[in-house]
Structure formats: structure tokens, C-alpha cells
Structure 1
Amino acid sequence: MPEPKEIGHQIKFPNTLMGLFKKGWWEIPEIMASSCLGLLGIGLGFIAVLNYVKNDGDNREYKKVYMIMRPDDPRVPRLKNPVYTQYKG
């Protein structure tokens, strides 16, 4: 009985995690590339949220709910447009 003829070229990948990664890039490059871009987007989004929180991002000049603060409150220097009202009694 004759041996089956090989069609095209056969590529062997090792049975390791890196071999599985290389085989994925060889067989389904669209899925691997979109997965990498998705993970990159999640990472950049996480970094953006951390920077937003670190830089006191929820300090809007115009708010729906107003808060009255004492002058010695530590948050007062971080206000974008503080309005000081002098009450004379």
C-alpha cells in the first residue's frame, strides 16, 4: 500500500506553552491579533482609570450637587474654581 502524499508543507510545533502560542499565530492570526489588541486596550483602560483616580478626576467645576466646605478642609486647594463668599452678620 502506497504512503499518502503530503500536500503543502507541514510545520511541527513543540508541545509547550510557547509552541501552543506559535501554533495559534500560525493557524488563526486574526484571532490572536484581536486578542492581543483587546488585552492591550484593557491594560490601557486600567492605567487611564488609575491616573483619573490619582489626579482627583471627580473634581468638576460644575456639579449637580453642591457641597459647602470649611476653609481649613484639605480638599479646598484642589478646587478648580473656588467661590468664596464673605457673609457679614
Structure 2
Amino acid sequence: MLLKRSKGDTKALSQVWPKPKDEGWILAVGHLESKELWALRRVGFVKGQLTASLVIVTPETTGRQIFTLYVMSDSYMALDQQFDLHLDVKDQQTSSK
């Protein structure tokens, strides 16, 4: 079976899905040290570029924190990516001066 895609089609090209399914992406921010999920968001079909916001509340401990951004496809395998986010968390009193 040959799958063809039209120019404006947002459906996933896969013989695995029994009926048409829209492509989508899942964005997640996690903290490996504490093994916690800090933010999660699903975005739909992306054509070109996308700007999405994920809100996290920084931990109370100050210093360098490394979070990980996971970008995962909900339709295709082997497209997942992860990026380290290096944050320098400062004390609120110190940063307001």
C-alpha cells in the first residue's frame, strides 16, 4: 500500500493506525536529579516553525540546575529528541537588587 500525502494534509502517514490520525508533538520538561516532570504540553501539527510556551516554577534550592526538554512525536517512532536546559537559580532577594 503506497501512502500519499497532499500539501495541506495533517494526517500521519502510517499503516499502523487503523484510521486517519493527526500528527502531534508532546513537549515535556523534566528534572533528572529529582526524577520529576515539571511541565507537559501537547501541540498539534507543525508546519515550518512553532513557538510554544512551557511554564515551570524553579526549585527553591539555588545554584545551577539542569532540566531536560523532551520533544516527542505522538505519531512516528525515532523522531524523539532531548535538550539540556542549564539554569542558574538565584535567591529572589539577591536577584532583585
Q: What is the TM-score with the length of structure 1 in the denominator?
A: 0.24
Bigger strand fraction: 2
Q: Which one has more relative contact order, counting CA pairs under 8 Å at least 6 apart? A: 2
Q: Bigger radius of gyration, 1 or 2? A: 1
